Chain A
């Protein structure tokens, strides 16, 4: 499917809420603007941004949709005429749902492991805030 369309296909089990993706997209677009992307395209940069760590291939493996996954969270940029969207809709055999329904597919335990969340932190922060803080701070501090 390479080259057919530009989008980021994310592993739903590691997405808690669309806002988590928004924070990663915001960062990826910023890195693109200032010419400091760590990966080749802004769509791959989104995958990298989602990861709390700096290893690129690991980020792709962890956050990218896997062969055996039966659901996917799709992020598309600059699709004003919805052309990419319609290509993807035709390619994926499945039911399209509201992005907020991703919470039904989240694996909270995996999120806690990947983002290294402790009970101490979760006593003063909800999980989403803990996750987005790490995404936004990653260039400065890693956990």
Chain B
């Protein structure tokens, strides 16, 4: 691996840009939390890495695009993966669309993206892949965003579970993230749910759970 340039310092991981034997790559390094016991910390950190690697591979095997993994180093808690070049996060894309046109026009323009995200989540959930941290920053669009070449990333909190509850929470996390990050995004999220429901025949239970979790969330904010 060549020398690394720090590109992002998150709460749990540092991201570097580097090259792996000539290919542009992203090195995601999970670092230690000083307040945790060292050996517990190492095993928790490695648990995240293993979840991420497992879900990256299983997603791609089921037809959802994810970065190619080049190297995993559990000693230094690093994953070296393909850099999705010429990409924007869905977050940045939505913001640029909303900034450049009227609300009505941007709703129309974002519709196909909402459909694509719904279909993609349906595939993940049908294969029992629960992402665990669905936000618009954890979705990339490669090349021209209009081509909807969607790449899913950041699977460190993922798990494999055939529970409607977990899938419902997955959708709830995304709903909260979208509504709080993007103003006037209700219709965008509805589009995601519509296409999720249409492409996932067993989704009735998941939607019921989503409604349940929404109710709980509402009660909590009313009390607190």
Contact = CB atoms under 8 A, between A and B. Distances in A.
Interface string A131-143: 0111011011101
Is the contact region of chain B dominated by helix, strand, or loop, or is it mixed?
mixed
A120 interface: yes
Interface in A97-143: 118, 120-121, 123-125, 129-130, 132-134, 136-137, 139-141, 143
A137 B57 contact: yes
B63 A124 contact: yes
A23 B70 contact: yes
A11 interface: no
Contacts of B72: 136-137, 139-140
Given A26-B21, A125-B65, A143-B61, A136 B75 contact: no
Contacts of B73: 30
Interface string B47-71: 0011001101110111111001111
Given A34-B75, A137-B54, A140-B53, A129 B61 contact: no
Contacts of A140: 49-50, 53-54, 72
Given A34-B75, A134-B57, A137-B69, A124 B64 contact: yes
Contacts of B50: 140
B82 interface: yes
Contact of B61 (A22, A121, A132, A139): A121
Interface of A: 19, 22-23, 26-27, 30, 34, 118, 120-121, 123-125, 129-130, 132-134, 136-137, 139-141, 143
Given A121-B62, A133-B56, A136-B69, 20 more contacts: A23-B70, A26-B70, A26-B71, A34-B75, A121-B61, A121-B63, A124-B60, A125-B60, A125-B65, A129-B68, A129-B82, A130-B60, A132-B69, A133-B68, A136-B70, A137-B53, A137-B69, A140-B53, A141-B57, A143-B57
